[in-house]
A = this chain, B = another copy of it.
Amino acid sequence: MSESETERGPEAEELTDRLVEVFDLVGPLYRRAQRKVEQDAPIEGLSVGVRAVLNMLREHGPMTVPQMGRAQALSRQFVQRMINDAAARHLVEFVPNPAHKRSSLIRLTEQGRAAITAVIDRERAVLGQLGGDLSDAEVAVCIRVLSRLLRFLDNVDVD
């Protein structure tokens, strides 16, 4: 039916099909996860966007706004809004950036760390129920595949 394949043999075509399948899973998964987060995060009063930036800071340490935008494929301006929002609520603070005088580093405050940790812990608790059925190795492979896809789509530049 499809004729757009360049000649790479049947395995390659099979792979492409499977990748399309992955993307068809990502959509619903994203929406369901978002809803779960929405049910939970409001306890701390965190929007999805704020949750995302806090989580980034949590696992990556202090970063600048533009860095975060690039890392998450979000527009610089959007990240900025989230950060300003978080700052207004004392979840993050600005610290001087030795590398760029204009663009300060964003760092979690104690309060911010507590908030994001609480959220993540609750998510972990939910995920924990998933338990057995999935092996560590499988999930690791999944992460590898998704990371690869992500890097591949990186040429889509924002801003």
Contacts and interface: CB of A to CB of B under 8 A. Distances in A.
B29 A26 contact: yes
B128 A5 contact: yes
The oligomer's copy count stands at 2
A28 interface: yes
Contacts of A73: 28, 31-32, 35
B127 A148 contact: no
Q: Give the secondary structure class of A's interface.
A: helix
Interface residues of A, number: 73
Interface of A: 1-6, 8, 11-12, 14-33, 35-36, 39, 52, 55, 59, 71-74, 117, 120-125, 127-131, 133-136, 138-150, 152-154, 156, 158
